[in-house]
A = this chain, B = another copy of it.
């Protein structure tokens, strides 16, 4: 429980410190930048977009709330608020699952699908501009590898990154 026992300092090395500052800066700056871009064009956030995108890739464009939450990296509470908002906009619909009455299925509507398709090309273009245009093939590979390793420690049971279906 203590910060330093005899076995080592548990402090960050200079290399680790630089890497941490870079990671923190990316995490802190990237999302707001993409948020602002999407917000200008469609009054939605990056998180909203990601929820729509995850739903669009599911069979029947529908998923249980908890599964959608996992794929959206969000708490159930956060997702619930957001899906309510998107439902109000006509882009999603909620319904009870017939097999388990506790489960709420969140489905993308036709209108939501159309909106997503309208947004996607420009959004992907922005992601490419901000991220991938500055990276070469090795960088991309490293990014995925390191990202997954960090994720494995944050949330050991993740999994959805591997389901490369659809």
Interface residues of A (CB under 8 A from B): 2-4, 10-12, 14-16, 18-31, 33, 47, 50, 73-74, 120-122, 124-125, 127-135, 137, 139-155, 158, 161, 164
A147→B31 contact, CB < 8 A: no
B50→A161 contact, CB < 8 A: no
Tell me what chain A mostly uses at the interface: helix, strand, loop, or mixed: helix
A130 cross-chain contacts in B, Cβ below 8 A = 150, 153-154
B128→A10 contact, CB < 8 A: yes
B31→A128 contact, CB < 8 A: no
A20 cross-chain contacts in B, Cβ below 8 A = 127, 131-132
State the Cβ distance, A6 to closest chain B Cβ, in Å. Answer: 15
B151→A29 contact, CB < 8 A: yes
State the Cβ distance, A53 to closest chain B Cβ, in Å. Answer: 10
Query: Which residue on chain B has the smallest CB distance to residue A73?
Result: B28
A139→B146 contact, CB < 8 A: yes
A154→B33 contact, CB < 8 A: yes
List 21 A-B residue pairs with CB atoms under 8 Å apart, sorted by A's residue number: A3-B122, A10-B124, A12-B132, A15-B137, A15-B141, A16-B140, A22-B147, A23-B30, A25-B73, A25-B158, A26-B147, A30-B154, A33-B154, A129-B153, A130-B150, A133-B153, A134-B149, A139-B142, A139-B145, A139-B146, A142-B145
How far, in whole Å, are A30 and B153 apart by their CA atoms in the complex? 10
How far, in whole Å, are A59 and B50 apart by their CA atoms in the complex? 42
In the complex where A14-B164, A22-B161 touch, is A149 in contact with B140 (Cβ < 8 A)? no
In the complex where A19-B144, A31-B27, A73-B25 touch, is A135 in contact with B121 (Cβ < 8 A)? no
